[in-house]
Structure 1
Amino acid sequence: MTLTTERPPASPSRPRWWRRPWVAPLAVVSAVFVAYSLPPYLSLDPAQSRVPAPDFFPPHFAVLSLHVVFGSIAMITCCLQIWPWFRGRYPRAHRMIGRVYVFGGCLPSGLLAVVVSVTTPFFGPVTAASGVVLASVWVGCTLAGWRMARQRRFVDHRRWMVRSFALTMSIVTNRLWGVVFFIALSPQLDTTFHGDETLLASTVAALSAWLGWVLPLLVAEWWLERGDAAKRRARARATR
């Protein structure tokens, strides 16, 4: 679907908002995740942090808190940004919320994520590397999408923002993979991990960190290519 700054009213052939069954579940998941994740970092109490703070970096809690706040803004705003009905019905709001998503959500949260990743040694270097790569790709995709919109290349804008959306929501899949790997690997604590709980925790964190964003990004690429293939087949049939 090509994004434009102004759209005609929805036609009868265009799916109505209630025919997008993924919109409401996505909004609920985002709201629940933010409601669970955000309060400890709004308390201004470092003792409530869910990430161990290193002694060598005193601003860790402040940086982490800002990362979570900006990331929460990105999660909430992206739910409206990818909703086709809202995007088509309210193009001006789409542009305004898009700026909030980019400059009040993804960019500051992504840059702060780099700092958090390199200053949180508890989960190990593999997890830290994943955080740095994820943040860099997230910021890169988001900036590319914003640049395409500025150039009115709305097809490319949509493609980059689908990737940005997948990376924004990867924090949820990261947590899901963490639960899966913890359940799967905990029985091996006394064998594979020789009773070392720290090694088990770092392994679970590393696996969930990489799979948490790589798989959603691959799914996004598959979805985009699938859509392009369908359009090519439609054009081929039209020229017969």
Structure 2
Amino acid sequence: MQLTKKHKTTAQFLVLVLLAFFSFLMLEITLRYIPASSTASFLQIKQTEVTGLWYYLPVFYMHVYSSVCCLVAGFTQFSPALLKKRRSVHRAVGYLYVGVVLLFSAPTGFIMGMHANGGWVVVLFFTVLSVLWWGFTWQAVTAAKKKDFRRHRFMMIRSYALALSAITLRLWKWVLVQLFHPAPMDVYVVVAGLGWVPNWLCAEYIIYKIRSK
């Protein structure tokens, strides 16, 4: 039994390290968008929106800067040590995470999704992602207010799984390009769903395993 507990602790630590690594990798990517520019990286293929929609550029940068904040803040919420020994820190970082998701990241993601390249399928994937992300996060907040911390935990698992789509989308894109060398827009259509649907399924599996104990 002691060995099993040790293995579990080691696995949790490795997951946190991995989440931290990818979160700070996203931070490095985000820093490329400082200072803000209308022609930086991704925006080079969005010039129609940049020049034709007054709100697109502010929404884009609000999404970029706030989303990396969610990733960095979110992974700390699953640290057992932080939850047990530093509840005030856990709560403060949690407020930061849900505030940023509800007020900035998910709403701006929805707006950007409405203007996504690749047709209605891509638009549908990205807008549904934003709605679910906002919804799961809001339910996590309401569950915590009712002191239903089990439900709060499950909703936060779902919420953060969708937050991680910022990372998994890029990972899937890299894998598909390396293996199949598809056209850029074909990749975009595929990863629009592949970037977050498997994350959600993994979250549901984790929740199922927790409930089965």
1:33 maps to 2:16: no
What is aligned with 1:80? Answer: 76
Name the SS of the counterpart of 2:133 in structure 1.
helix
Q: Verify the 8 A CA contact 1:81 1:98 in the aligned structure 2.
A: yes
Q: 1:32 deviation in Å?
A: 1.2
1:56 maps to 2:48: no
Q: 1:154 deviation in Å?
A: 0.3
What is aligned with 1:138? Answer: 133
What is aligned with 1:213? Answer: 196
What is aligned with 1:151? Answer: 146
Q: Verify the 8 A CA contact 2:70 2:101 in the aligned structure 1.
A: yes
Q: Verify the 8 A CA contact 1:148 1:156 in the aligned structure 2.
A: yes
Question: Following superposition of structure 1 onto structure 2, how do residues 76-225 of structure 1 map, counting pairs within 5 Å?
Answer: 76-120=72-116, 122-186=117-181, 200-225=183-208
- How far apart, in 1, do the equivalents of 2:53 and 2:165 lie? 26
1:45 maps to 2:48: no
- How far apart, in 2, do the equivalents of 1:57 and 1:27 lie? 35
What is aligned with 1:236? Answer: none
Q: Verify the 8 A CA contact 1:142 1:164 in the aligned structure 2.
A: yes
Name the SS of the counterpart of 1:44 in structure 2.
coil
Q: Verify the 8 A CA contact 2:133 2:163 in the aligned structure 1.
A: yes
Q: 1:155 deviation in Å?
A: 0.5
- How far apart, in 1, do the equivalents of 2:163 and 2:102 lie? 8
- How far apart, in 2, do the equivalents of 1:185 and 1:132 lie? 27
Which runs of 5 or more structure 2 residues have no equivalent in the other structure? none
- How far apart, in 1, do the equivalents of 2:184 and 2:10 lie? 42
Instruction: Report the AA paired with residue 178 of structure 1.
Output: K
Q: Verify the 8 A CA contact 2:102 2:138 in the aligned structure 1.
A: no
Instruction: Report the AA paired with residue 211 of structure 1.
Output: L
Q: Which has the higher helix share?
A: 2
Q: 1:152 deviation in Å?
A: 0.3
Point out the more displaced range, 38-47 or 208-217. Answer: 38-47
Instruction: Report the AA paired with residue 225 of structure 1.
Output: Y
Q: 1:19 deviation in Å?
A: 6.3
- How far apart, in 1, do the equivalents of 2:100 and 2:65 lie? 10
Instruction: Report the AA paired with residue 98 of structure 1.
Output: G
What is aligned with 1:3? Answer: none
Instruction: Report the AA paired with residue 48 of structure 1.
Output: A
Q: 1:133 deviation in Å?
A: 0.4
Q: Verify the 8 A CA contact 2:101 2:134 in the aligned structure 1.
A: no
Q: Verify the 8 A CA contact 1:70 1:109 in the aligned structure 2.
A: yes
What is aligned with 1:21? Answer: 14
CA deviations 1:137-157 (Å, max 9, x no partner) are: 000000000110011000000
* Structure of higher RCO (CA pairs closer than 8 Å, 6+ residues apart): 1
Instruction: Report the AA paired with residue 124 of structure 2.
Output: A
Q: 1:18 to 1:128 in 2, by over 3 A?
A: closer
